[in-house]
């Protein structure tokens, strides 16, 4: 079997602190998703009014911040960078969050195990940009992953993709706009140039490491039921 191309770079940097390692060893197994089998958000996080997936949550600031704002919503975060997972675990413990589940690894593997129309929202915020043309095939947004977004979202569900790299923005917007079931919600330039009202700015975003101002592409699953008058 051909090995799947990685969409992310390094998976670890500095050595984890004793506290972080303890959280990875003790807390992560308690709030992690199953290593195999179906990943059903409604079963992992029962009793929640909505279920949200964040792909590549980095240091976990956006994930934990949204989870703290919306305790009635269940959040699943997937991140391959163990240092980011450790940071997220620290925030989860400090805030006493009980509505978050984490997975250290490739989000594509998790998505493939999820049932149809199981998510109310998906966040893909500032993914590894792979800005060079020869690396474009490693970007997370591809025809296959875009189709998975459409499959996983409930009717009327929403996807947000944000980036501060122009090449990635052009690449992602083209693919997403061609994906059946996904409808771009922008009506004017301000809709994608200005941070949405519910956006939480992270430290990574404030570093301005990209080559353009952040852009925010919001899409809706266009299979939402229509009211007949």
- Check the CA dihedral 4-211-103-195 and report its sign: negative
For residue 221, which of 118, 171, 151 has the smallest C-alpha distance?
151
For residue 122, which of 138, 112, 111 has the smallest C-alpha distance?
111
List strand residue ranges (DSSP E) for the chain, in order. 50-55, 73-79, 100-104, 119-125, 153-163, 182-184, 215-221
Catalytic residue positions, numbered: 128
For residue 182, which of 218, 208, 212 has the smallest C-alpha distance?
218
């Amino acid at each position: 079997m051909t090995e799947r191309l990685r969409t992310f770079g390094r998976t670890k940097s500095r050595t984890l602190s004793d506290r972080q390692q303890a959280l990875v060893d003790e807390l992560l197994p308690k709030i992690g998703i199953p290593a195999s089998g179906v990943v059903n958000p409604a079963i992992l996080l029962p009793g929640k009014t909505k279920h949200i997936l964040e792909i590549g949550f980095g240091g976990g600031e956006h994930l934990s911040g949204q989870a703290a704002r919306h305790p009635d919503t269940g959040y699943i975060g997937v991140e391959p960078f163990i240092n980011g997972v450790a940071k997220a675990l620290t925030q989860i413990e400090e805030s006493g969050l009980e509505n978050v589940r984490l997975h250290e690894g490739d989000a594509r593997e998790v998505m493939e195990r999820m049932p149809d129309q199981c998510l109310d929202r998906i966040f893909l915020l500032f993914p590894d940009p792979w800005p060079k043309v020869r690396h474009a095939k490693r970007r997370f947004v591809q025809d296959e992953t875009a189709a998975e977004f459409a499959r996983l979202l409930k009717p009327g569900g929403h996807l947000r993709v944000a980036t501060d790299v122009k090449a990635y923005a052009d690449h992602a917007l083209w693919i997403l706009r061609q994906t059946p079931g996904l409808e771009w919600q922008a009506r004017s330039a301000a809709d994608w140039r200005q941070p949405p009202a519910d956006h939480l700015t992270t430290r990574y975003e404030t570093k301005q490491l990209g080559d353009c101002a952040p852009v925010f592409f919001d899409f809706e699953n266009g299979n939402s039921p229509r009211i007949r008058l």
